Amino acid sequence: MFEIADCDSGQSITHKLKLYETYRVDCYKFFVDGKLWKERVGWINILAEIRKVLPRVARE
């Protein structure tokens, strides 16, 4: 399990990511905050999606 704390908005929001093995090599069942995101996904796609949904916010 991974926890990501998003503090860019001024308040801390924590997201919990869980990965479970599948029958395919280097593929995982991926849950975000307890909800199934993908039945079978690889690391590259997991990291790409995290970058999309949690973009960095520029400071003013």
Domain with 13, as residue range(s), is: 2-53
- Per-residue model confidence (pLDDT) at position 1: 82
Residue-wise pLDDT tens digits, 42-59: 999 988 988 887 777 666
Is 28 part of a structural domain of the chain? yes
Is 58 part of a structural domain of the chain? no
- Per-residue model confidence (pLDDT) at position 40: 94
List 11's β-bridge partners, or say none. none
Mean pLDDT of all residues in 34-40: 92
Number of domains in the chain: 1
Is 14 part of a structural domain of the chain? yes
What 8-state DSSP symbol labels residue 47? H
Q: Report the alpha-carbon distance of residue 14 to residue 1 in Å, rounded.
A: 13
- Per-residue model confidence (pLDDT) at position 51: 84
Is 22 part of a structural domain of the chain? yes
**pLDDT band for position 10 (cuts 50, 70, 90):** confident
Is 60 part of a structural domain of the chain? no
Is 36 part of a structural domain of the chain? yes
Is 47 part of a structural domain of the chain? yes
